[in-house]
Amino acid sequence: MMTHFIQKGNVEATELDGEWIILNTDQYTITKLNGVGGHCWSLLNEMQTVDTLTKSLVEEYKAVQNKEQIKQDVEEFLSNLTECGLIENVNRL
């Protein structure tokens, strides 16, 4: 079973000077993301997995030698976004 992640519908997002501001309209919280987080956020408007996000970051930033570290960072990032109520995870076969 593979876990997929996607943005929740209760958020508004905007990019300002290379950073992303995410407003959770249910909890009235604001989350700020850097450019790398914003790249992942923009992909999360469709279902993504840890592996698809990792692959995209490796390709975007040409960081092939750091793939395992990037994967760990993506897992932590997704965990934080889930905790903030910005994304949801869906288990799929």
The pTM is what? 0.91
Compute the average pLDDT of residues 31-58.
Answer: 96
Summarised one tens digit per residue, pLDDT across range 73-93 is 999 999 999 999 999 998 876
Q: In whole numbers, what is the pLDDT of the chain averaged over residues?
A: 93
Three-state SS across 7-73? ECCCEEEEEECCEEEEEECCCCEEEEECHHHHHHHHHCCCCECHHHHHHHHHHHHCCHHHHHHHHHH
Q: What pLDDT shows up at residue 64?
A: 73
- Can you give the pLDDT at residue 66? 84
Pair 71, 78: CB distance under 8 Å = no
For residue 1, the 8-state DSSP code is: -
End-to-end CA distance of the chain: 5
**Structural domains of the chain ordered from first start:** 2-88 (3.90.930)
Pick the closest to residue 87 from 33, 20, 23, 8 (CA basis): 8
Mean of pLDDT values over 12-24: 93
Q: Give the mean pLDDT of 32-38.
A: 95
Q: Which amino acid is at 65?
A: Q
Tell me if residue 86 falls in helix, strand or coil: coil
Does 23 have pLDDT greater than 80? yes
